[in-house]
């Protein structure tokens, strides 16, 4: 078409109509994008009067270089080279000063066809049941492009809705494997044993995930949100459609990933996968291309995460540099061994700064970094051990309360019913035997608790324990099923502090502290 002055009004009208079509689009009903609403949902607007809902995935690490060591993959199975367990680390993007941690946001559901069309097509789709199915048949490049379109739309129309880190707005992308698997396993809403299991806690898989067979998917993708969620409130993390990852595929080399990067990764299994393939460790490599064109699949879709840049300001750079300088050179327990390591690191750094020979200076610097990395690894392992000791101490405190109160109950009944009776009374003899057995049991438990408390306090010291008490307390806050341990953690830490202050073995006082701990109502009702 040739542009003429007379044709300009026509083009302007078309342009206005194009802009108005989105504005006048009929708002989606919540069932189209959030069929299972929850008070912890975080909602972002979309084109065409639509929405997408996210869930927080929280990590109780507040420092700029703090991260949480986790183990991903699985230890058994026929595909060790693909799925064997390996160490990894995770940290959230957005700071939460109130919770003393960080978090990232993960889409609550797989991206639907309705949401994809709203992002990629020129006209607004009409919501329907069919469009509430997960979007499939798109390539990895299409998925990245859809995330880009969403980012640009939000920045133009709803910048104030995006969470910020240090004044810098977050952005959407495909999840990394670590982000996805940490969330799929239930994050910190499950305990460490449940996290390492093949599935997050579920009574019957068919109530939570779609897989092949007439009792589940029956060979078809299903509408979002029909089944129950995982502990983080995320739906269809396993099954329904496989989900694309942001990072490329790596083979497993026993305790680490192999160095060759391949195609892209899909996770979780899908509606054609058998029940044994529906597990948190399932991962497959997919070629980016099918001969001459980008590869697509009817069983593969996507789910977005919302994260922030790592380096957001000059102030953040200063914080990172300060944290970097202390890595491997600080010791929270102040033991002699680590003080020596700290002095060695400092000595190497000082020596390197005073050497003129460039090659020697670089070797000394490399040696300093290696030593710091080794010290840092030891510190991370130490932190995990401290948290494990706090977990044990808190649990033992609950047992002391139960057994201590039960002994008090037996004592009360014995005094009430048998105080003035003859020693030959058979019922009182039985009560006295049970009283003695319970007393012995409590004495053994108290001794075990005292030994654990003294050993941990001596080994880790006040500074090391104090830092991890804060971290472990946040982990319990995030895990509602374990939050009942919080008051017992406080009691256990109080007992440890008393021992640190006076060095006195006060088993009776420690027992009484645990017995007097207030148990949350919800926990009391469960018991």
**Distance in angstroms (rounded) separating the CA atoms of residues 480 and 19:** 46
Residue 194 has a pLDDT of: 86
Neighbours of 300 (CB within 10 A): 24
Residue 99 has a pLDDT of: 77
What's the CA angle centered on 282, arms 281 and 285, to 5 degrees? Answer: 125
Residue 342 has a pLDDT of: 53
**Distance in angstroms (rounded) separating the CA atoms of residues 281 and 265:** 12
Residue 359 has a pLDDT of: 73
Q: How confident is the model at residue 13 (pLDDT cuts 50, 70, 90)?
A: very low
Q: Cα dist. 333→93, 386, 450, 461 in Å?
A: 29, 11, 20, 5
Please list the helix, strand and coil fractions of the chain in percent, rounded to the nearest 5, in that order: 50, 15, 35
pLDDT digits (tens, 9 = 90+) for 333-384: 444 444 445 555 555 566 556 656 677 767 766 776 777 777 778 888 888 8
Residue 126 has a pLDDT of: 94
**Distance in angstroms (rounded) separating the CA atoms of residues 490 and 472:** 11
Lowest mean pLDDT among 46-50, 475-479, 486-490: 475-479
Quick one: which H or E segment has residue 453? helix 426-478
Residue 178 pLDDT > 60 = yes
Residue 21 pLDDT > 60 = no
Q: Cα dist. 446→150, 437, 438, 440, 503 in Å?
A: 58, 14, 12, 10, 17
pTM for this model (two decimals) = 0.74
Q: What is the dihedral of CA 106, 112, 113, 119, to 10 degrees?
A: -40
Token pair recorded at residue 237: 């993390």
Q: Please write down the long-range contacts of 379-383, taking CB distance under 8 Å and 24 or more positions apart.
A: 379/328, 379/330, 379/331, 379/332, 380/69, 382/333, 382/460, 382/464, 383/464, 383/467, 383/468, 383/471
Contacting residues for 254 by C-beta, under 8 A, at least 6 apart: 84, 86
Residue 354 has a pLDDT of: 60
Residue 25 has a pLDDT of: 65
pLDDT digits (tens, 9 = 90+) for 55-78: 999 998 878 898 998 989 987 667
Q: Cα dist. 339→304, 322, 352 in Å?
A: 45, 19, 20
Residue 525 has a pLDDT of: 32
Lowest mean pLDDT among 21-30, 148-157, 276-285, 315-324: 21-30
- Domains, the chain, in order of start with CATH, read 41-307 (3.90.1580.10), 314-378 (no CATH), 382-526 (no CATH)
**Distance in angstroms (rounded) separating the CA atoms of residues 63 and 169:** 20
Print the SS3 string covering 224-242: CCCCCCCCCCCCCCCECCE
Q: How confident is the model at residue 103 (pLDDT cuts 50, 70, 90)?
A: very high
Q: Which residue has the tokens 């707005």?
A: 169
**Distance in angstroms (rounded) separating the CA atoms of residues 125 and 128:** 9
Token pair recorded at residue 380: 């991370």
Instruction: Determine the average pLDDT of the residues in 85-110.
Output: 92
Residue 159 pLDDT > 60 = yes
Q: Which percentage of the chain shows pLDDT scores above 90? A: 60
Helix (H, G, I), strand (E, B) or coil at 62: coil
Which residues does residue 294 pair with via DSSP β-bridges, in sequence order?
Answer: 289
Residue 453 pLDDT > 70 = yes
Kindly give the pairing relationship between strand 242-248 and strand 300-301.
parallel
Q: Cα dist. 289→286, 399, 524 in Å?
A: 9, 58, 57
How high does pLDDT run on average in the chain? 86
pLDDT digits (tens, 9 = 90+) for 260-279: 999 999 999 999 999 999 99
Lowest mean pLDDT among 209-218, 446-455, 470-479, 513-522: 513-522
**Distance in angstroms (rounded) separating the CA atoms of residues 358 and 346:** 19
Q: Which residue has the tokens 């640009």?
A: 152
Instruction: Determine the average pLDDT of the residues in 426-450.
Output: 91
Q: Which percentage of the chain shows pLDDT scores above 70? A: 87
pLDDT digits (tens, 9 = 90+) for 207-248: 999 999 999 999 999 999 999 999 999 999 999 999 999 999
Residue 464 pLDDT > 90 = no
Residue 33 has a pLDDT of: 96
Report yes or no: 249 and 263 within 8 Å, Cβ to Cβ.
yes
Helix (H, G, I), strand (E, B) or coil at 37: coil
Helix (H, G, I), strand (E, B) or coil at 168: strand
pLDDT digits (tens, 9 = 90+) for 85-96: 899 999 999 998
**Distance in angstroms (rounded) separating the CA atoms of residues 451 and 366:** 42
**Distance in angstroms (rounded) separating the CA atoms of residues 338 and 150:** 49
Residue 347 has a pLDDT of: 58
């Amino acid at each position: 078409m040739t542009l003429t002055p007379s044709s300009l009004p026509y083009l302007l009208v078309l342009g206005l109509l194009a802009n108005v079509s989105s504005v006048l689009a009929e708002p989606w009903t919540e069932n189209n994008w959030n069929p299972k609403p929850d008070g912890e949902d975080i909602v972002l607007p979309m084109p065409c009067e639509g929405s997408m809902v996210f869930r927080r995935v929280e990590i109780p690490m507040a420092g700029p270089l703090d991260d949480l060591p986790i183990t991903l993959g699985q230890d058994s199975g026929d595909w060790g080279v693909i799925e064997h367990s390996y160490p990894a680390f995770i940290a959230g993007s957005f700071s939460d000063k109130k919770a003393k941690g960080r978090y990232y946001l993960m889409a609550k559901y797989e991206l639907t066809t309705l949401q994809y069309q709203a992002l990629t097509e020129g006209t607004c789709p009409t919501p329907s049941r069919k469009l509430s199915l997960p979007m499939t048949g798109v390539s990895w490049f299409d998925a990245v492009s859809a995330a880009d379109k969403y980012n640009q739309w939000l920045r133009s129309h709803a910048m104030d809705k995006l969470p910020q880190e240090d004044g810098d707005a977050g952005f959407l992308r495909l999840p990394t494997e670590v982000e996805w698997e940490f969330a799929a396993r239930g994050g910190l809403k499950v305990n460490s044993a449940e996290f390492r299991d093949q599935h997050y806690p579920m009574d019957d898989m068919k109530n939570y995930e779609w897989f092949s067979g007439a009792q589940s998917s029956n060979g078809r993708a299903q509408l979002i949100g029909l089944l129950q969620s995982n502990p983080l409130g995320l739906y269809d993390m396993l099954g329904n459609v496989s989900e694309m990852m942001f990072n490329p595929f790596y083979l497993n080399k026993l305790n680490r990933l192999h160095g060759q990067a391949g195609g892209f990764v899909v996770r979780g299994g899908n509606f054609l996968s058998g029940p044994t393939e529906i597990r948190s460790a399932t991962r497959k490599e997919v070629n980016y291309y099918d001969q001459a064109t980008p590869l697509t699949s009817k069983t593969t879709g996507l789910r977005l995460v919302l994260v922030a840049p790592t380096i957001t300001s000059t102030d953040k750079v200063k914080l990172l540099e300060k944290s970097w300088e202390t890595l491997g050179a600080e010791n929270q327990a102040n033991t002699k061994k680590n003080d020596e390591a700290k002095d060695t690191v400092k000595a190497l750094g000082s020596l390197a700064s005073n050497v003129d020979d460039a090659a020697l200076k670089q070797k000394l610097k490399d040696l300093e970094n290696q030593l710091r990395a080794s010290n840092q690894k030891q510190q991370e392992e130490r932190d995990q051990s401290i948290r494990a000791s706090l977990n044990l101490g808190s649990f033992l405190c609950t047992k002391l309360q139960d057994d201590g109160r039960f002994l008090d109950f037996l004592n009360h009944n014995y005094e009430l019913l048998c105080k003035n009776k003859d020693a030959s009374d058979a019922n009182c003899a039985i009560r006295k035997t049970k009283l003695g057995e319970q007393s012995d049991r409590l004495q053994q438990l108290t001794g075990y608790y005292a030994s654990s408390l003294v050993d941990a306090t001596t080994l880790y010291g006040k500074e090391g324990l104090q830092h991890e008490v804060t971290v472990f307390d946040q982990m319990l806050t995030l895990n509602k099923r374990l939050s009942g341990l919080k008051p017992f953690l406080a009691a256990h830490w109080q007992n440890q502090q008393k021992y640190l202050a006076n060095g006195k073995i006060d088993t009776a006082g420690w027992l009484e502290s645990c017995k007097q701990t207030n148990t949350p109502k919800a926990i009391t009702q469960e018991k």
